Amino acid sequence: MAGGWLNGVKRDFTKEEALKEYFYFLADDSLVLGQQLSKWCSNGPVLEQDIAIINTALDHIGRARLLYQELARLEGGDATEDTLAYFRDHLQYRNALLVEQPNGHWGDSVVRSFFIDTFNFYLYDALRSCNNEALRGIAEKAIKEIAYQAQWSAEWVVRLGDGTEESHAKVQKSIDDLWMWSGELFEEHPIFEVLKDDLPAFSSFKDHWVKKVAEVLKMATLVMPSPELWMQTGGRYGIHSAQLGYILGEMQSLARTYPDATW
Amino acid sequence: MGTNVSLEDKFQAFVDAENKVEPKDWMPEKYRKTLIRQISQHAHSEIIGMQPEANWITRAPSLRAKLILLAKVQDEAGHGLYLYSAAETLGEPREKMIADLQSGKAKYSSIFNYPTPSWADMGTIGWLVDGAAIQNQVMLTRTSYGPYARAMVKICKEESFHQRQGYEVVMKLAQGTPEQKAMAQESLNRWWWPSLMMFGPSDDNSPNSEQSMKWKIKRKSNDTLRQEFVDKTVPQAEYLGLSIPDPDLKWNEERGHYDFGEINWAEFYDVIKGNGPCNKERIAHHVKAHEEGAWVREAANAYAKKQAARKEGDASAA
């Protein structure tokens, strides 16, 4: 396990560090995905869906704020939701690689959402009864939004899969292309062992996720790749794809140009 | 011919008595056409108006500002949707309205043919552009066509909220660092005149106004609305410590209104004609999104048809 692409990453965590890391996983997933989805604004295939996808972006960014607010409290000092979002570099971001993948076409974005929404559904459902009060509160609020998001993206996968020949081929390619980023959602990470008495390990949702994804893809007449294929890794350790630099560069540009300003 | 005249007279009397015209009522063809033109133009303005603001969503400088801006642009999409629906009650299908927008046959508010190079524009647009729109739309809540009037009531509530949010963005800049204050002033310099142009040509040059006033589609003239806007906005700028870029602007005690300088009508007409900095870009953006979404719309239709056929199959099997 020592050699390879992730050589040199931090693997020892105190309980306090591990808890913050857990929050960063959730917060950064929400922010980066919300940022990506917001780019659909004025670019959707039909006005009603422009509104629907903006809605999911709003939910993700709203959730990110709640998580960063709690993180700011954990970090202490001058940390705020905005210093955490705008003044951390890609090495400090802990989002899964899946959410930083480009929007691509509607099918690519829908599949990316479908993978993460389905994961989020089981994760946040479990967090409603975890041993962290702040997370329980956030999860209770978020689960309703996530249930809607998971339904929305699953319905689109079915519609595209069982739509026209063209849409079927396109969305099958989206699934095949994005599949290698899905395994990271469930991978083992040293923080889960440290936190095992209080918070669920993400690997515990894998079976549910595989079952649900298989079910939806069957309805969509699409082929599911094997969950045992080689999966990409790195996001949870701050080792990202090249896309994240551009995403953060755009998002942080104004805030960093005027670091003393309040908005 | 005699019957026609009498129907039109009856219609005029109905409108004069402050009744609302509903989709199934008889109406003069020109009334219908005028409303389709106006409502679809209004819908297109909401939709094209998403672009200059969407331009800053990914770069909003705080998470709170990002959420507010995203929610605002989403509201605009929603307004576009109500308005397309209101126009559809007059028998105009949405696909046709969109085709007319893309071909340049239908217009939208010219203000959106200006770019938004600065974050401060997100404040100024809310403050001035939404402010000018409200001036017009409050009048339209009493317009004679029922579905349009009702859509306007809902839209006006959200627009006043947007205007307050826009004003708050400008206020934060005006009370911020020297760079932020300069940003706010620079943005006001650019948007002030185009905002005044939003009310349309002066009353002497407004060909459609008279008939629209008679039918109570419109209830105040362009110049009246423009004056109301100036009178309302000047004190707001003063409160912010920003200066309005008009050397002729001064309070006229006798009239009880602000006097202001002459609008550059050559610019106004040229931007309408398609020569603004962003006319081509706005339509190209809309066309691109529409074309890239074609396969998605086709898939959704094909799926809906299959589902309907399956249901029918189930029903006949049972």
Which of B297, B45, B97, B52 has the alpha carbon at shortest distance from A46?
B297
Least Cα distance to A182 among A107, A103, A117 occurs for A117
| Residue B318 confidence (pLDDT) above 90 | no
Measured distance CA(A257)–CA(B213) in Å, rounded: 50
Residues 6+ apart with CB under 8 A from A108: A101, A102, A174, A177, A178
For residue range B205-221, what is the model confidence (pLDDT) as tens digits?
887 788 888 999 888 99
Query: What's residue B173's pLDDT?
Result: 98
| Residue B4 pLDDT greater than 70, yes or no | no
pLDDT in tens, chain A (263 residues): 556 899 999 999 999 999 999 999 999 999 999 999 999 999 999 999 999 999 999 999 999 999 999 999 999 999 999 999 999 999 999 999 999 999 999 999 999 999 999 999 999 999 999 999 999 999 999 999 999 999 999 999 999 999 999 999 999 999 999 999 999 999 999 999 999 999 999 999 999 999 999 999 999 999 999 999 999 999 999 999 999 999 999 999 999 999 999 99
Chain A hits for B308, Cβ within 8 Å: none
Locate the chain B residue with the closest alpha carbon to A39.
B58
| pLDDT at res. B314 | 84
Q: Which residue of A has its CA nearest to B73?
A: A41
Residue in B closest to A221 by C-alpha: B303
- pTM for this predicted structure: 0.95
Q: What pLDDT, in 10s, does the model give residues B98-151?
A: 999 999 999 999 999 999 999 999 999 999 999 999 998 999 999 999 999 999
User: What ipTM is given for this predicted complex?
Assistant: 0.96
Q: How far apart are CA A251 and CA A254, in angstroms?
A: 8
A:173-212 residues touching chain B, CB 8 A cutoff: none
Average pLDDT over residues B70-84: 96
Q: How many CB pairs under 8 A join A and B?
A: 137
Query: Which residues of chain B from 35 to 74 reach within 8 Å of chain A, CB to CB?
Result: 47, 50-51, 54, 57-67, 70-71, 73-74
**% of residues, chain B, pLDDT over 90:** 88
The answer to whether the Cβ–Cβ distance between B302 and A163 falls below 8 Å is yes
Element (H, E) at B252: strand B250-252
Minimum distance, in Å, between the CA of residue A170 and any CA atom of chain B:
10
pLDDT recorded at residue B5: 67
Asked if A169 reaches chain B (Cβ–Cβ under 8 Å), the answer is no
Residue of A nearest to B120 (CA): A263
- State the smallest CA–CA distance between residue A53 and chain B in angstroms: 10
CB contact under 8 A, A58 and B54: no
Mind listing the pLDDT tens digit for each residue in B13-43?
999 999 999 999 999 999 999 999 999 999 9
Q: Mean pLDDT, chain B, as a whole number?
A: 94
Confidence band for B247, pLDDT divided at 50, 70 and 90: very high
Residue B313: the pLDDT is: 87
Residues 210-249 of B with CB under 8 A from A: none
Per-residue buried b or exposed e for B33-54, using 16+ beta carbons within 10 Å of the residue's own CB? ebbbbbbbbbbbbbbbbbbbbb
Residue A2 is predicted with a pLDDT of 55
pLDDT band at B285 (very low <50, low <70, confident <90, very high): very high
Q: Which of A31, A37, A38, A42 to mutate to test the interface with B (most CBs of B within 10 A)?
A: A42
- CA-based nearest residue in chain A for residue B291: A45
Least Cα separation, residue A148 to chain B (angstroms): 17
CB contact under 8 A, A263 and B298: no
Out of B286-290, B301-305, B307-311, least confident range: B307-311
